[in-house]
Amino acid sequence: MAKLLEVQGITKKFGGLVAINDLSFHLEEGEVLGLMGPNGSGKTTIFNIIMGDFLPNSGRILFKGEDITHYPTFKRVKMGITRTYQVPRPFRELPIIEDIRISTIPDSIMGSLRGEGTHIDEIKEIAEDVGLGGRFSKYPHELTMGDLRRVELAKTLATNPKIILLDEIFAGLTVAEIEEIDKLLRRKMEEGLDFVVVSHDLKALAPLVDRVVVIHFGQFIAEGSFDQIVNDEKVKAAYFG
């Protein structure tokens, strides 16, 4: 299978702290990759680098073989890479349907002046698809964490992505909500979307992922199927000391 996303030898330092150290992994087409690691291992940092929020000190990010290391975030999103945030970041003054609509506004002044964005019926379809039906006019402060995660997902889906980076998508959810989000992600996988999933919740992650990469202190320590990973001595040492 072709490599869709490649992280090649990325190193990121914050002052004297090496957050990511010569990290390499890739995502293949038609695959769901789990990215695991204890707290502070650099999972979100690597997401930020993939999205262009931070520039790495060295290394490259490739999407479909194209070097995108220095591309601005919006360009990466237009190419098909998008993300959710560990702590949901809705637009606090907007009802959720308007929040999702922002992701469909064309990246051009003239197009935006003419209102050439996605039709509202399509936006409603996306919102309904992630389970937000009947709550279009709610504001973020009126929603549960589960619904905020759905809004995040709807926003990513509205950008017509090829890859979604899911950052702790199950954090703060009830068991029932985890099941619902899990079902939704499986459906999206069947529809052909590829994911990189970061999660602390190993139980929730297990049935979703085809392959897992484990990092610790910003370094690659193991790779394999979920069962191989949980029995790996280096992984056990990283998690349990």
Partner 1 sequence: MERYSKVGITSIKLLRWWLIGIAVMFVLPLFLPISVLRVAIMASYLAIFAMSWDMMSGYTGYVSFGHPFLIGVAGYATAMWSHQSGFQPPHIILPLFATIPLAIAASVGAGMLLFLPSMRTRGPYFSLVSLAFMMIIYRLVIAIRPDMTGGDRGLPDLPPVVAGPVPNYYLAIGLMFAVGIGLWYVTRSDVGSVLKAIRMDEDVVEASGISTYRFKRFAFILSALTAGIGGAFYTHYLQSISPRRTFGAIFLLEIIISTVIGGMGTIVGSIFGGFFLTFTLEYLRPYLLGAWRFLTYSLVALFIVLYRPRGLYGMGEDIARWVARRREGA
Nearest to 86 by CA among 31, 27, 30, 39: 39
Query: Any residues with CB less than 8 A from the CB of 64 and at least 6 apart, and which?
Result: 2, 4
Structure tokens at 33: 């990759």
Q: Which of 77, 166, 204, 205 binds partner 1 (CB under 8 A)?
A: 77
Q: Which of 9, 40, 58, 107 binds partner 1 (CB under 8 A)?
A: 107
Binder to partner 1 among 69, 159, 189, 206 (CB under 8 A)? 159
CA 26 to chain centre: 14
Residue with tokens 């017509």: 160
Q: Does 53 bind partner 1 (CB under 8 A)?
A: yes
Beta carbon nearer to partner 1, 122 or 227: 122
Stretch that binds partner 1, among 1-9, 76-84, 167-175, 217-225 (CB under 8 A): 76-84
128 binds partner 1 (CB under 8 A): no
Q: How far is CA 171 from the centre of its chain?
A: 13
Asked whether position 115 contacts partner 1 by CB under 8 A, the answer is yes
Residue 117 interacts with partner 1 (CB under 8 A)?
A: yes
d(CA 127, CA 172): 21
Nearest alpha-carbon partner for 69 in 57, 87, 82: 57
Q: Within its chain, how far is the Cα of 28 from the centroid?
A: 15
Closest approach, Cβ 174 to partner 1, in A, equals 25
Query: Whole-angstrom Cα distance, residue 127 to residue 57?
Result: 38
45 binds partner 1 (CB under 8 A): no
Which residues inside 172-211 make contact with partner 1, applying CB under 8 A?
Answer: none
Q: Name the residues that contact partner 1, by CB under 8 A.
A: 51, 53, 72-75, 77-78, 82-83, 85, 89, 91-95, 97-98, 101-103, 105-109, 111-115, 117, 120, 123, 136-137, 155, 158-159
